[in-house]
Amino acid sequence: MKPRALLSRAVRSLAGAIALCAVALHTAEAQDVWVVQVVGLGGNDHYTERFTGWADEIRTHLVERWGVEGERIVTLGEEDAPGRIDGVSRRETIEATVERLTRETGPADRILFVLIGHGSFRDGVASLNLPGRDLTAAEWNDLLAPLSDRTLALVNLASSSGPFVQALAAEGRTVITATRSGQERNETQFGRYFVEALGGGASDLDKDGRLSLFEAYIYARSETSRYYDEAGLLATEHAQLDDDGDGEAIDLPLEDTADGRAAAAFRFAPRGARTTVATVTDSVATRIEAEIAEIEARLAALRAERSTMSQEAYDLELEGLLVELALKNREFRARTGGGR
């Protein structure tokens, strides 16, 4: 019904971390991205349409906004959605898709799996409901083993998806689930907001024009929480993220956790944008970019000193640096004809 204070503080504290990750890790954008969407059984027309619709939207966002090549997006779904899927989401098709990725990708590539549908949790085993035999969390882990040297991320938007974290955790592998346990069996809202996040805009929290999985997670998680608050409902889902491989997922990253870094590095740059410093051949632009980076480093240092300064002194110094940055930014755009 009302905003949660905890979320407020946590999101605020994240702001700096997001910006720092952006500075430190933006080379990851150079890598090629593959996306596999697995849409499970809807059970009725409503859910089949809803789940397939999400996959459609994700594909549209990835292609049109983030420039992911269409042929590198594989969507598997129900037979009832001809023309919208590349194959039926049976276990055999999924296995074949992974084999293809094993052949066609290398260690420099990034692969994002998005699981959409209803999850189940029986006898301590979580799975995604598929046409034919379901795939359990452990089976997903086995399935992805041949791709273990790639940068992998798996986002499970289904109910009862929480146990996927423990089953799939690996260092540098981002695992995001809509629920924190198998017991959260109700229909989830997290998926719709994750799809919305991939549309960019408000989910680009650091306003660098790029979108990381971490930002998408934070956005979707926050909007899900708001949904329950405004509807006056008790939340029946609690999304979580793990990417440090310890299988201990987090709700929101705290200062002493390593979680969040790999997700922040898994980023999408807008179609047509320059992706890394390394691609800039203009030496002047390179110099400006370096100067910008130096200002950003000073900004980071200033933020670290904030608690020791008065608000007035801090703002004064902050403004000075930001004005420098703004001017450099203009210079860079004038030189390159676009943003960084």
Partner 1 sequence: MRGRAVAFALVVCALAPLEATAQSSDVGRREAARAAWVEGRWADVLEVTRGGGADAALLALRIRTLLLTGERAAAVRAAGGRDGPAPAPALERLRGEALLAIGEREHARAAFEASIRARAPDAAVARFHLATLDLHTAARPAAIDAFDSFIDFYNEGRADTPEELVAVGRALTRLGRADSGLFRDALRAFDEAAALDPLDPAPRIALGDLFRATYQTTDAYAEYARVLERIPEHPDALVGRARAQRFDGNPDALATARRALEVDPHHPAALALVARLTLEAEGSEEARAIARDALEVDPYNLEGLSILAATHFLEDDLAGFDRVVARLDTFAPRYGGLHGTVAELAVTHRKYAEAVELARVALERDPDLHEVRGRMGMNLMRLGRIDEGRAEVEAGFAGDPFNPWFKNTLDLFDKVDGFAVMESEHFEIVLPADEADLLGPLVRETAEAAWDGLVARYGFEPPAPVRLEIYPSSADFSVRALGLAGLGALGVSFGPTLAMDSPSARGPAEFNWRSVLWHELAHTFHLSRSDHEVPRWFSEGLAMREQRVEDSRWGFKPSIAFFQAWEAGRMPPLSNLTEGLIRPRFPDQVPFTYLLASYVFDWIEEEEGFGTVLAFLDGYRAGASTEELVDERLGLGMEDADEAFDAWLRARFEGELAATTGEIAPARSPAQGAPTFGGGRDEAAIRALEEAIDAAPGAFLPRLALGTTLLARGRLDEAEVQLRQALRLFPGYDDPEGPLWGLATIHERRGETRAAADALRRLGYLSETAWEVPLREAELRREMGDLEGERDALRRATEVYPFQRDLQLRRAEVAERLDDPVEWVRARRAVLALDPVDRAEAHFEFARALLAAGELDEARTQVLRALEIAPRYEAALELLLELRRSS
What residues make contact with partner 1 under the rule CB under 8 A? 1-5, 7-8, 11-12, 15-16, 18-19, 22, 202-209, 218-219, 222-223, 226, 230, 232, 296, 299, 303, 315, 318-319, 322-323, 325-327, 329-330, 339-340
Q: Which is nearer to partner 1, 180 or 210 (CB)?
A: 210
Question: Residue 203 has what DSSP assignment?
Answer: G
Burial group, residue 310, by CB count within 10 angstroms (0-12, 13-18, 19+): exposed
Q: Which is nearer to partner 1, 2 or 46 (CB)?
A: 2
Q: How far is the CB of 299 from partner 1 (least distance, A)?
A: 6
Q: Which of 128, 253, 246 is nearest to 179 (CA)?
A: 128
Q: How far is the CB of 256 from partner 1 (least distance, A)?
A: 22
Q: How far is the CB of 119 from partner 1 (least distance, A)?
A: 25
180 in Cβ contact with 249 (< 8 Å) = yes
Burial group, residue 215, by CB count within 10 angstroms (0-12, 13-18, 19+): buried
245 to 15, 95, 253: CA distances (angstroms): 23, 24, 14
Q: Which is nearer to partner 1, 87 or 209 (CB)?
A: 209
Q: Which helix (H) or strand (E) holds 263?
A: helix 261-265
Q: At what angle do helices 311-336 and 283-305 cross, to 10 degrees?
A: 170
76 to 94, 100, 114, 116, 237: CA distances (angstroms): 8, 14, 10, 10, 25
Q: Which is nearer to partner 1, 84 or 226 (CB)?
A: 226
Q: How far is the CB of 288 from partner 1 (least distance, A)?
A: 14
Q: Which is nearer to partner 1, 140 or 190 (CB)?
A: 190
Q: Which is nearer to partner 1, 136 or 225 (CB)?
A: 225
What gap in Å lies between CA 292 and CA 286, rounded to an integer? 10
Q: How far is the CB of 7 from partner 1 (least distance, A)?
A: 7
Centroid of chain to Cα 32: 15
Q: How far is the CB of 6 from partner 1 (least distance, A)?
A: 9
